[in-house]
Amino acid sequence: MAVPIRTAAAALCAGLVATLLTTVPARAGQREHTWTVSGPGRTATHAPHARISLDDTTGTVSLSVTRDRRTVIEPSPVGIVTEQADLSKDLSFLHRKDRLVDERYRTKSGKRLERRALMNETRLSFATPTGARLDLVVRASADGVAYRYVLPAGLGDVLAETSAFRLPQDATAWLSTYRVDNEGQFAQYTAATAPTGDYSPQALFATDGGYTLLAESDLTGTYSGARLAHDQGTGTYRIKLADDRVRTTGPLATPWRAMVTGDLATVTRSTFTDDLAPASKVPDPGWIRPGTVLWTWLAGGRTAGQSLTAQKAYVDYAAERGWPYEAVDAGWYFKSDEWDTTDPNWQTNSWMPDLVDHARAKGVGIIVWIHQRDLDTPEERAQWLPTLERWGVKGVKIDFMNSEAQSMLQWYDAILAETAAHHLMVDFHGSTIPKGMQRTWPQVMTLEGVAGEEKRTNTAAHLTTLPFTRNIIGSMDFTPGAFQRVGLRPNSDAAETGLAVVYESGLQMYAGTPQSYDERPLARDFYDQLPAAWDDTRLLAGHPGQEAVLARRDGDRWFLGGVYAGTARTAEVPLTIGAGRWLVETIRDGTGGLVQDRQVLRGGETLDIDVTDNGGFAGIACRWTPGISTCHR
């Protein structure tokens, strides 16, 4: 529940102090033209600082970010152009307003369930010579800086932003070429040497000020999705909108342009893009239950999707393992005798209610795949969504949006409200990425927007970059566990097992076959233990493109996952999960398959694990006391 701003004396004092410390006095005869906003709290000296400057000659505004007095983002242009006004130049300063944002909220999935959004906010108001108004709203927290534009009604459609991010040219960059489905691979460059082109807005840079991930938040159908446009030889990444014209009908608040920044552990653990988003619009989220899923597409494809017998067998296997969901992918309603949806009894032609009843008796929920084109109109949604709810389906996997244009974002607005009304959890594929969506609409358990397990060209370097790029933004449906795809994936079996921890997803969809799990009982039994919602997340070791070792806590147990790119080695992992003695069970690659090791370590000691080429590991750590021989329950 949100804590009202300025209701406590401490909050009021903090806001006043922030105002006094961040306002630069005007010199005699000159208007104030520089402002600084930094994160609140005891860590403010180490938090990022945003510096906003108004050039008195050109009337242009720029924003830069520093951390520990080191450059994170160089002075970068800020501005927006509409039909009626160019709000990127000839601006004069009007006034400033400050407040402290302090909100506590609880999520249904993600890196941790209990959250606190604590940010200083500064609103700077500007005007053009003709009186057109622009408010620049800047927020700073302990792990990020963000800004958005707020425009009054009457300025017409948005034609472009002049927003950009200027990085030091030698900053290391991990970038993914932009695709409408957000399924590009991440590759390493420097900020200046990256080829000319468009890139995903989720871009990671390393500078002497630490790591910075560029991102968006609170993207809805009132606006247009963004990508980063870059010209080789520069460190500048410009905001390029998906639409040439963004339709507006009244006042407008654009999405947040966010910079998640800090050391790598801080950036990896950050929930900044969720913190910026509006509060939940689902009043009673008790029906939303994250969990692990047996997903059958890579196990049997469309043929399995057309077979009630095959699907019942998958449900039985999920029930045997204690996995709470089974997902039926494409094929279940695209049959040779395709339904006549003009017939009011068309739903009775499906075997899906039979499967749902069978699964319910086994304690398993059903999630169904459906193409976006079959939910494209209000009439189609009025046919499908109430029917799926009546059958008892628990969630929908909606595929092939493949756009972040304003019209598609308006469709997202509609489907989000309607799936919530019909108590259907959601997994989006061929989609945008979360961008705060999971806070506002907690029934969204996961989204694809990633070059995931289905891809045949993924590299081990890509797999070790995702925890520091795409998965920072929100739940990621990579679909790990496809052990049967030997030769089609770049990693080892132990690394594949560990991906289910390394990658966070509110619906963690296992992509293997029952036979492949039974042939690897250590991996199968590890999956039996895994939750899909976490109390905490920590980065134990990592470097994008080389290694990623994460620990995620469920109650009093920590689950460990590690993935590596490159040659075999003995990995040294700091066990920074708390003081005391821990029983650590790990699964690694052996000469004849997966093997398990057990050892007792003190918190802070080093966990040594032998890792194969492009390998990894999985593990569980629990408090050790005499007589405890396993962490499994």
399 as an active site residue: the answer is: yes
Of 4, 10, 13, 18, the closest CA to residue 47 belongs to: 18
Closest among 414, 374, 434, 423 to 395, alpha carbons compared: 423
> pLDDT-based confidence at 47, cuts 50/70/90?
confident
Question: pLDDT, tens digit, for every residue of 133-166?
Answer: 999 999 999 999 999 999 999 999 999 999 999 9
**Which residue in 157, 454, 519, 535 is the catalytic one?**
454
The CA distance from 310 to 300, in Å, is 9
Flag whether pLDDT at 600 surpasses 80: yes
Sort strands 291-295 and 325-328 into parallel, antiparallel or unpaired: parallel
As a whole number of angstroms, the distance between CA 256 and CA 438 comes to 15
Sign for the pseudo-dihedral over CA of 431, 435, 441, 442: positive
- Whether residue 83 lies in the annotated active site: no
Q: Considering the candidates 216, 399, 477, 585, report the single residue annotated as catalytic.
A: 399
Residue 104 neighbours by CB distance under 10 Å: 12
Could you give the count of Cα atoms lying within 13 Å of 304 in the half-sphere of its Cβ? 21
pTM: 0.92
Average pLDDT of the chain, as a whole number: 92
Question: What span, in angstroms and rounded, lies between the C-alpha atoms of 8 and 13?
Answer: 9
How high is the pLDDT of residue 42? 55
Number of residues that this document lists for the chain: 633
If you average pLDDT over residues 367-384, what whole number do you get? 96
**Most distant pair of Cα atoms in the chain: their distance:** 83
* Residues of the chain by 3-state class (helix, strand, coil), percent to 5: 20, 35, 40
**Which whole-number Å values give the CA distances from 421 to 282, 408, 437, in the listed order?**
8, 20, 16
Per-residue pLDDT at 17:
37
From the list 49, 41, 219, 78, the residue with the least C-alpha distance to 144 is 49
- H helix intervals, 339-405: 352-361, 378-391
Strand, helix or coil at 311? helix
Torsion of CA 301, 393, 113, 372, to 10 degrees: 60
Residue 286 CB contacts under 8 Å (≥ 6 apart), including other chains: none
Q: Dig out the tokens for 500 from the structure.
A: 């289910």
Q: Which two tokens stand for residue 17?
A: 């102090």
Least confident window among 136-150, 212-226, 302-316, 341-355: 341-355
d(CA 600, CA 188): 38
How many whole angstroms separate alpha carbon 390 and alpha carbon 369? 17
Domain boundaries along the sequence of the chain: 9-276, 285-534
Question: pLDDT tens for residues 280-334?
Answer: 999 999 999 999 999 989 987 777 777 899 999 999 999 999 999 999 999 888 5
State how far the Cα of 64 lies from the Cα of 66, in Å rounded to an integer: 7
10 Å Cβ neighbour count for 547? 22
Tens-digit pLDDT profile for residues 509-544:
999 999 999 999 999 999 999 999 999 999 999 999
Angstrom distance (rounded) from CA 38 to CA 66: 10
Query: Which letter does DSSP use for residue 393 in this model?
Result: -
Answer yes or no: are the C-beta atoms of 133 and 152 closer than 8 Å. yes
Give residue-wise pLDDT tens across range 67-105.
988 999 999 999 999 999 999 999 999 999 999 999 999
In terms of Cα–Cα distance, which of 302, 335, 300, 342 is closest to 317?
Answer: 300
At 46 the pLDDT is 78
Q: Which CATH number fits domain 285-534: 3.20.20.70, 3.60.9.10, 3.40.50.10420, 2.30.30.180?
A: 3.20.20.70
Cα–Cα distance, 519 to 484 (Å, whole number): 10
The class that CATH gives domain 9-276 is mainly beta
R_g over Cα of the chain: 25
Cβ contact 563:548 at 8 Å:
yes
Q: Round to whole Å and give the CA distance between 571 and 564.
A: 9
Cα(187)–Cα(209) distance, integer angstroms: 21
Taking Cα atoms as reference points, which of 462, 508, 497, 470 lies closest to residue 589?
A: 497
Mean pLDDT of 348-354: 81
Residue 14: the pLDDT is: 41
